[in-house]
Amino acid sequence: MRGNINLRKEVFYWQDMKIKKITLRKIEIPMLTSFTTGFGTIDRKPTVLVRVETTDGIIGWGESAALPYPMYNPESVDTCMLVIRDYLASSVLNKPFETIEDINKLMSPVRENYIAKTGIETAIWMILSLARNKSIPEILGGTRKKIEVGESIGIKKSIQETTEEIGLRLSQGFKRIKIKIKPGWDINLIKAIRIKYPDISLMVDANSSYTLKDISLLKKMDNYNLTMIEQPLGDDDIVDHAVLQKQLRTPICLDESILTLDDARRAISIGSCKIINIKPGRVGGLNETKRISEHCQSKSVGVWIGGMLEIGIGQAYKIAAASLQNCIYPGDLSPIDFYYKDDVLIDSPKVDKNGCIKVSQKPGLGYQISEDKIKHYTVAKIDLK
């Protein structure tokens, strides 16, 4: 009998859900340190939090973790605020939905703007998880109970400062080191790191700062046993990446180039990469993350979960994503307190001394949200009904 009642309750929530209200907040937690990449320096990192409430009173939170300016991709914190406020909220408010695919379909008339969509999409995952009383990794189909964490190290003032930070991160247990490179900050740095740390799992991320004209320099990277080179060329250039991959032994990993499952399918079919960094934000949320991951698995292309310097809410969804079976490389899941003075979670995920995070199996976000902290760090708030 009890089983039947639970089942009916689940079906009830599953079939009759509607979004009653969306609250959009721009949040800014002070950064402890800046982060420099091939596209510029991030020294302020506002983010967007999306609170979604259903007619049944279930509440979900999502994060649209864009940068303050459109330099990693065309979105920014302010474009996310505008696109959710003026276009996405009205496309989902008061519309019946049963599945995450329904939500994605309702948002699909708005082209791209995937970071903005992720704020809503992930909040719906939290709502579905609470309604079904099952954890997000469980409904997503993630099987890993523990995930491996790598550290991403920005461009520093000197090689010595970089090797010192690498030493610190290795002593803290991180499973691989990623360093940001750009023209002029590449081979000499890689060489110096390899002299000091000949055997560590080391990769580089160029954030699109090279072109095929740099091919002889990029080929030199084959001498340093890098686990991968992330996004060496343009975000719109899977063709040139295919040309480059044919001349490199080191696997190319695409980040900025892959926005959808179709992008992944095309890139793999022409040999543009051997690995994909999936950022839930860049691809519009956890559903597309899973679809890309599964397609990659069918083509023997391993993936890992990348990041956008999320705060705890976005981090929780990245952890859920990293529980997918094909996430075979350590993810960019730095502890929040490496970059920020505070977090909006009370129990922010911890990296253990072996460089791993335990995947929360609790229904909902999996971590405890502090509404007081969210209010404290809010710089703008918009209610949408």
Judge contact between 190 and 221, C-beta under 8 A. yes
3-state secondary structure of 242: helix
Residue 255 binds Mg ion, judged by CB under 5 A: yes
Please identify which of the residues 175, 274, 279, 373 carries the catalytic annotation: 279
Judge contact between 50 and 311, C-beta under 8 A. no
**Residue 308 interacts with, from Mg ion, ligand OSB, none (CB under 5-8 Å by kind):** ligand OSB
Task: Give the interface segment with Mg ion, choosing from 127-135, 229-237, 323-331, 368-376 (CB under 5 A).
Answer: 229-237
Under rule CB under 6 A, which residues in 214-273 are in contact with ligand OSB?
255
**Residue 258 interacts with, from Mg ion, ligand OSB, none (CB under 5-8 Å by kind):** none
- What per-residue string of b and e applies to 16-31 under the rule 16 or more CB within 10 Å gives b? ebebebbbbbbbbbee
Q: Least CB distance from residue 35 to ligand OSB, whole Å? A: 6
Beta bridge partners of 185: 182
**Residue 72 interacts with, from ligand OSB, Mg ion, none (CB under 5-8 Å by kind):** ligand OSB
Residue 155 binds ligand OSB, judged by CB under 6 A: no
Residue with token string 């730095």? 334
3-state secondary structure of 43: coil
User: Which strand (E) or helix (H) includes residue 63?
Assistant: strand 59-64
**Residue 332 interacts with, from Mg ion, ligand OSB, none (CB under 5-8 Å by kind):** ligand OSB
- The DSSP result for 282-311, as a single string, is HHTSHHHHHHHHHHHHHTT-EEEE--S---
Q: Is-catalytic flag, 180?
A: yes
Residue 148 binds ligand OSB, judged by CB under 6 A: no
Q: Which is nearer to ligand OSB, 182 or 381 (by Cβ)?
A: 182
Q: Least CB distance from residue 232 to ligand OSB, whole Å? A: 12
Which listed residue (75, 121, 148, 205) binds ligand OSB by CB under 6 A? 205
Q: Of the candidates 253, 252, 306, 254, which has an alpha carbon nearest to the alpha carbon of residue 280?
A: 306
DSSP 8-state symbol, 54: E
Under rule CB under 5 A, which residues in 180-209 are in contact with Mg ion?
205
Task: Give the interface segment with ligand OSB, choosing from 20-28, 46-54, 306-314, 348-356 (CB under 6 A).
Answer: 306-314
3-state secondary structure of 165: helix
Residue 63 binds ligand OSB, judged by CB under 6 A: no
Residue with token string 């911890």? 350
User: Which stretches of the chain bind ligand OSB, using CB under 6 A?
Assistant: 72, 152, 205, 207, 255, 306-309, 332, 334
Known catalytic residues are: 180, 279
